[in-house]
Structure 1
Amino acid sequence: MENRVQTSLIALRRILRATDLNARKLARATGLTTPQYIVLSIIAEHGEITPKGIATRAGVGQATATSLLDKLEARGLVTRTRGKTDRRIVWVAATEAGHETLRTAPDPLQEVFASQFEKLEDWEQAMIVASLERVGAMLNAGTLDASPLLDVGAVDRKN
């Protein structure tokens, strides 16, 4: 019994460590946190998108999305413009520097995970989801707010 507990804790630690190492690799290569990278990716994918659309796609609150946008805009990676027909709407677009940052960035861990996860049979995916949800519940993490990012720390933290 003790051996399974230790094996489980080691597996959890490896996951946390892989997440941390990937975040550091991304930060060294781009100067971005994982959440900043994800937001920039969403913007580039859509061409133009509203902050609310970004928040929805990233799975974060609008205040968090705005904070991330402030950081990306300060670095010259995105621009914000008012709508032409409705001045209340703000559109966000990636700059050329933003697109270049994405082109040169290493693959984030969640993309690596997603590509491998999608190759699994449906029943394997369901088992993994159930197991991860159970582990989260065992760690009393069921009520914690979390976005679909493989990253540690606050989503809108500074580098």
Structure 2
Amino acid sequence: MQHQFNELFDRYYKSWRGIESAYDKIAANHGVTSNIMNILTLLYKQRSPMTQNELSKELNLSRQTVTSVVDSLEARGLVTRSIAEGDRRSRVISLTEQGRASGREMGRAMRRIELSAFEALSGEDQIAFVDNMEKLWHGLAHALGEE
């Protein structure tokens, strides 16, 4: 039985790393890291500015990582940073026109590839896959005492 679990987890880790690598390649095709791609596409999808704290929570990234990525995006002219109303310690991140175009382009490319990959699954399997991913995520959060 232990051998079966070891094989199952080996397949799980290989799949996880493969999926992560695929997103890294999508980002690299656009000349950015996956963290940059994720922040740009999230801001584009939200269609409104977000605080760095909101970005951190939504993407499960450390505050330090978000700050570093936002610094890079700001230097590239893709985002602006301003002080949040009512909380001078909080920074609001907004896409520039160039950032909006980049977020749209990357988001569309990512979605095309995801849709192509999802075609390998039936509609029922797609739903089951996402449902099971959510269960695993919540199970891990519970095991870590986060839920």
Q: TM-score range by the shorter chain?
A: 0.5 to 0.7
Alignment of 1:1-159 (within 5 A): 6=7, 9-10=10-11, 12-27=13-28, 29-44=29-44, 45-83=46-84, 86=86, 88=88, 89-105=90-106, 106-107=109-110, 119-121=126-128, 125=131
* Greater strand proportion: 2
In structure 2, relative to structure 1, the CA distance for the partners of 1:24 and 1:128 (3 Å cut) is closer
Q: Give the Cα separation in 2 of the matches to 1:61 and 1:33.
A: 16
Compute the RMSD of aligned alpha carbons.
4.0
Q: Once the 2 structures are TM-superposed, how far is the Cα of residue 78 of structure 1 from its aligned partner?
A: 0.5
Q: Which amino acid aligns with 2:32?
A: L
Higher relative contact order (CA 8 A, sep 6+): 1
Secondary structure (helix, strand or coil) at the match of 1:60 reads coil
Q: Which runs of 5+ in 1 are unaligned?
A: 137-141, 144-159
Q: Partner of 1:147 in structure 2?
A: none
How high is the TM-score relative to the length of structure 1? 0.59
Query: How far is 1:77 from its partner?
Result: 0.9
SS in 1 for 2:110: coil
* Pair 87,21 (structure 1): closer, same or farther in 2 beyond 3 Å: closer
Question: SS state of the match for residue 120, structure 1?
Answer: helix
TM-score calculated relative to the size of structure 2: 0.63
Cα distance in 1, alignment partners of residues 14 and 86 from structure 2: 49
Identity of aligned residues (%): 19
Separation in 1, partners of 2:87, 2:128: 48
Q: CA deviation at 1:103?
A: 2.2
Letter of the aligned partner of 2:31 in structure 1?
G
Q: Is the 8 A contact 2:36 2:73 kept in 1?
A: yes
Q: Is the 8 A contact 2:80 2:95 kept in 1?
A: yes
Q: Distance in 1 between matches of 2:104 and 2:133?
A: 31
Q: Which amino acid in structure 2 is aligned with residue 50 of structure 1?
A: T
Q: Check conservation: 2:40, 2:102, Cα contact below 8 A.
A: no
